[in-house]
Amino acid sequence: MAVLVTGGAGYIGSHTCVELLNEGEQLIIVDNFSNSKPEVLDQIRTITGKDFLFYKADLLDREAIRKIFAENAVESVIHFAGLKAVGESVSLPLWYYHNNITGTLILCEEMQRAGVKRMVFSSSATVYGMNNPVPYREDMPTSATNPYGWTKVMIEQILKDLYTADPSFSISILRYFNPVGAHESGLIGEDPNGIPNNLTPYIAKVAKGELSKLTVYGDDYDTEDGTGVRDYIHVVDLAQGHLSALKKLRTETGVSIYNLGSGKGYSVLEVVKAYEEASGRPVPYVIGPRRAGDIASCYADPEKAKRELHWQAQKSLYDMCRDSWRFTEKK
Ligand code: NAD
Ligand code: UD1
């Protein structure tokens, strides 16, 4: 029996595939490479020394997805595939709703048709919106400020409704905080096209000399040094969280929601300092205006995952910066 990983060639998916193969799981990856490269698949094989099945397919292509379930004994699905750029989702909302929501609907329908009832879904801390107090707990109300965020809120609801209608499903909704870092081999990591939107990929390019300086989006927030505070989590810790969720899915039915974060917040300037230390390179910055849609602080209450999944983040901010730099240097 195999685990089907959608979006397995992507950033978080590829790291999770490495951990699954290391655990001896049989794997099938499906990806359309809309935001990843085929080379990643070879890197996964190199790191693990193990093989897996791969289908180049789009979740919107129902026939292709049906064929995957028909040809394989799939036991569970880890569903990463989706578009994730906040700014792009504002300019292309219909494309985001179609890809993320229709893609998930087709996947769930084909799972149900094939009798596959276990799913781990990639949600995001973005569903906590702008108005909840930190630390965020799983039972707080959800909302969003952009179409990307709404796709996560809506898919969470769809999955809860699916379970209500068919209680033989077992679904784990994982709300990631800020995934950063790379595999320690330096062979896989986050490699966005063009100028990065997110903090650590941007810093990595500044440290490498590909961009001249970082703009810090605001230093007048109500935080210790005035810059934004986030809960950064090493992507390998995050990947291992999926294994813990999968283990639990296999023992019960239901829908459970878990924060995957460290529970600790770091400011933009603390991240800059850690990256300079880990890379041995300067990261020049200027203070700019706040970015629309940003909040002062965002960090998890990670207790539920600790209690029920027996999982907690292990790696430090220094580890995240060191591994991000190792990957960046190799590129
Ligand atoms: P990513 O873009 O690196 O990976 C997503 C993968 O899905 C890509 O390889 C892409 O080619 C594939 N894909 C997209 N649409 C597809 C489709 N219709 N059919 C088949 N393949 C498709 O992103 P990531 O950072 O690895 O994120 C994985 C998931 O986690 C996403 O759902 C994302 O929204 C969610 N998430 C990410 C973050 C983050 O900061 N990276 C935070 C919270 C949640
Ligand atoms: C952003 C998205 C969020 C998404 C998450 C996924 C926005 C408004 N939010 O969150 O929906 O789930 O990415 O990774 O886009 N910063 C700078 N300079 C930069 C880049 C970032 O100062 O060039 C600051 C930001 O203001 C923030 C922190 O760094 O305080 C982290 O930013 P980022 O990596 O973009 O993540 P989020 O804002 O948490």
Q: Which of 124, 175, 217 maximizes ligand 2 atoms within 8 Å of its Cβ, making it the mutation to test the pocket?
A: 217
Residue 4 Cα distances to 34, 150, 243, angstroms? 18, 25, 13
| Burial (Cβ within 10 Å: 0-12, 13-18, ≥19) of residue 139 | exposed
Query: Do 167 and 303 belong together in one domain?
Result: no
Residue 212 Cα distances to 202, 203, 204, 270, angstroms? 10, 10, 11, 19
**pLDDT tens-digit map of 121-130:** 999 999 999 9
Query: Do 22 and 56 belong together in one domain?
Result: yes
Q: How far apart are CA 146 and CA 88, in angstroms?
A: 10
Q: How far apart are CA 275 and CA 204, in angstroms?
A: 8
Query: Do 151 and 45 belong together in one domain?
Result: yes
Instruction: Tell me, using a 6 A CB cutoff, whether residue 88 lines ligand 1.
Output: no
Residue 137 has pLDDT above 90, yes or no: yes
Contact 125, 177 (CB under 8 A): yes
The closest-lying atom of ligand 1 relative to the alpha carbon of residue 123 is 44
Query: Do 175 and 101 belong together in one domain?
Result: yes
For the segment 2-27, the average pLDDT, to the nearest whole number, is 98
Query: Do 307 and 222 belong together in one domain?
Result: yes
**pLDDT tens-digit map of 245-281:** 999 999 999 999 999 999 999 999 999 999 999 999 9
Query: Do 34 and 171 belong together in one domain?
Result: yes
Domain end point (choices 212, 245, 260): 260
Going by pLDDT thresholds of 50, 70 and 90, the confidence category of residue 285 is very high
Residues 6 or more apart in contact with residue 122 via CB below 8 angstroms: 7, 12, 79, 80, 82, 174, 176
CATH value at residue 287:
3.90.25.10
Q: Look at ligand 2, atom 22, and give the residue with the nearest C-alpha.
A: 216
Query: Do 120 and 214 belong together in one domain?
Result: no
Query: Do 158 and 216 belong together in one domain?
Result: no
Eight-state DSSP code of residue 261:
S
Q: Look at ligand 1, atom 1, and give the residue with the nearest C-alpha.
A: 10
Instruction: Tell me, using a 6 A CB cutoff, whether residue 35 lines ligand 1.
Output: yes
Instruction: Tell me, using a 6 A CB cutoff, whether residue 14 lines ligand 1.
Output: no
Alpha-helical (H) ranges within 209-302 are: 235-249, 268-279
pLDDT of residue 101: 98
Question: 140 lies in which domain range?
Answer: 2-180+232-260
- For the CA of 189, the nearest ligand: 1
Identity at 177, one-letter amino acid code = F
Query: Do 151 and 51 belong together in one domain?
Result: yes
Residue 17 Cα distances to 22, 67, 166, 241, 247, angstroms? 8, 21, 28, 12, 15
The closest-lying atom of ligand 1 relative to the alpha carbon of residue 179 is 40
Residue 142: inside a domain: yes
pLDDT of residue 15: 98
Enumerate the active-site residues: 148
The chain-wide mean pLDDT, for the chain, equals: 97
Task: Give the distance, in angstroms, between the CA of residue 234 and the centroid of all CA atoms in the same chain.
Answer: 11
pLDDT of residue 193: 78
SS (H, E, C) 85-126: CHHHHHHCHHHHHHHHHHHHHHHHHHHHHHCCCEEEEEEEHH
Contact 281, 240 (CB under 8 A): no
Q: Look at ligand 2, atom 5, and give the residue with the nearest C-alpha.
A: 178
pLDDT of residue 192: 81
Residue 189: inside a domain: no
Q: Which residue has the higher pLDDT, 331 or 266?
A: 266
Query: Do 129 and 221 belong together in one domain?
Result: no
Query: Do 164 and 174 belong together in one domain?
Result: yes
**pLDDT tens-digit map of 49-85:** 999 999 999 999 999 999 999 999 999 999 999 999 9
CATH value at residue 125:
3.40.50.720
Q: What percent of the chain has pLDDT over 90?
A: 98
pLDDT of residue 121: 99
How far, in Å, from the CA of 270 to the mean position of ligand 1? 27
Query: Do 140 and 212 belong together in one domain?
Result: no
Residues 6 or more apart in contact with residue 104 via CB below 8 angstroms: 59, 79, 82, 121, 155, 158
Nearest alpha carbon to residue 299 among 137, 135, 182: 135
Task: Name the token pair of 86.
Answer: 């906040």
pLDDT of residue 191: 83
Going by pLDDT thresholds of 50, 70 and 90, the confidence category of residue 194 is confident
Q: Which residues contact ligand 2 via a Cβ below 6 A? A: 86, 124, 126, 149, 178, 197-199, 202, 214-217, 228, 230, 268, 291, 293-294, 298
Residue 331 has pLDDT above 90, yes or no: no
Residue 325: inside a domain: yes
Q: Which of 19, 28, 29, 34 maximizes ligand 1 atoms within 8 Å of its Cβ, making it the mutation to test the pocket?
A: 34
